[in-house]
Amino acid sequence: MCIFCKIIAGEIPSNKVLENEEFLAFNDINPIAPVHILVIPKKHIKSLNEVDGQTMAKITEFIKEVAKKAGIFESGYRVITNIGENGGQEVSHLHFHILGGTKLAWPKLG
């Protein structure tokens, strides 16, 4: 069982921001912005490469709800997902980083 599945199961605590039947949002334990929230589906999906369109449509709406609750919907925010080893994915469970709370710079990659 991956770390995010353990969080969903309640085996590992998290600082929940928002939750519904299908998705969970919680604060990242190592934030890189004033607001850094992770959004995950409760169903284990390895990465964006495996997700279906219906789930993506629902998680997009959920992400917008999280941004509103976090107070960054109007000011702006960034949504990031990493896919695979070269893409920087550290946990093999689909997750989206919501970053905001300040003006975000675009770092050089590689």
Which of helix, strand or coil describes residue 23?
A: strand
CA 40, CA 3: separation in Å to the nearest integer? 11
Domains belonging to the chain, first-starting first, are: 3-100 (3.30.428.10)
Find the angle CA(45)-CA(48)-CA(50) to the nearest 5 degrees.
55
pLDDT digits (tens, 9 = 90+) for 90-105: 999 999 999 999 999 8
Beta-carbon contacts of 29 under 8 Å, excluding residues fewer than 6 positions away, are: none
Q: Give the pLDDT confidence score for residue 5 in this predicted structure.
A: 97
pLDDT of 14-57, one tens digit each? 999 999 999 999 999 999 999 999 999 999 999 999 999 999 99
Question: How many angstroms separate the CA atoms of 46 and 74, rounded?
Answer: 31
What residues are annotated to the active site? 95
9: left (phi over 0), alpha (psi -120 to 50) or beta: alpha
pLDDT at 108: 67
- Count CA atoms closer than 13 A to 89's CA, side-chain side: 18
